[in-house]
Amino acid sequence: MHYSGFVRKPAPDVGALSLPDTTQGLRPLKFVAPAHGLLLVYFGYTMCPDICPTTLSDLGVALRGLKPNEQKRVEKAVITVDPNRDTATVMTKYVHAFFRDGHALRTTDVARLAAVARAFGAAYRVTKAKDGTIEVVHTAFVYAVDNSGRIRLQWSFGTKPPAYRADVQKLLSDVR
């Protein structure tokens, strides 16, 4: 099957991992999609000036174009790579601005965040300059996780809404 995103082979298994969900009272969210569905995961931060809001906006446009029965089968999660500035309240408001039912994931456990990012193949770095300016660098992929906890597909920055939508529909037809 042809996708706009790219397939990881072998598909990384992230199903045993979880992070606290600020939208669910910090209850851990496991990286496993609901039965017959998908979990779309993105690593970013709320003060990102361009890449994060563009990606999340494009993804939102794509998902709103799905049929209602397809929309119900897709969960969304955004993981902050800048938890010192992205408080639970800030994260929840940010994610809900893009996805009313999205999961906002945040941990201040540096090792746990790094382990999750490594399992997904995501990278990030937060540095503070001498003048106090904070710079965040991160990969900009959206990951599609299936109901067995495997990453089925990932999209890079710049993927257009029709491409996301077509790929999600193909994946949903495969995870019945």
- Summarised one tens digit per residue, pLDDT across range 5-17 is 999 899 999 999 9
Which CATH number belongs to the domain containing residue 43 in this structure? 3.40.30.10
Structurally, the chain folds into a number of domains equal to 1
Q: pTM score, two decimals?
A: 0.96
Strands 74-80 and 38-44: parallel
In a domain, 33, yes or no: yes
The per-residue pLDDT for range 131-165, each reduced to its tens digit, is 999 999 999 999 999 999 999 999 999 999 999 99
For residue 2, tell me if it sits in a domain: no
**Residue in the structure block whose two tokens are 């299936």:** 146
Q: Is residue 6 part of a domain?
A: no
Q: What is the pLDDT of residues 84-134, one digit of tens each?
A: 999 999 999 999 999 999 999 999 999 999 999 999 999 999 999 999 999
Give the domain extent around 44: 18-174
Assess contact for 83 and 107: CB atoms under 8 A.
yes
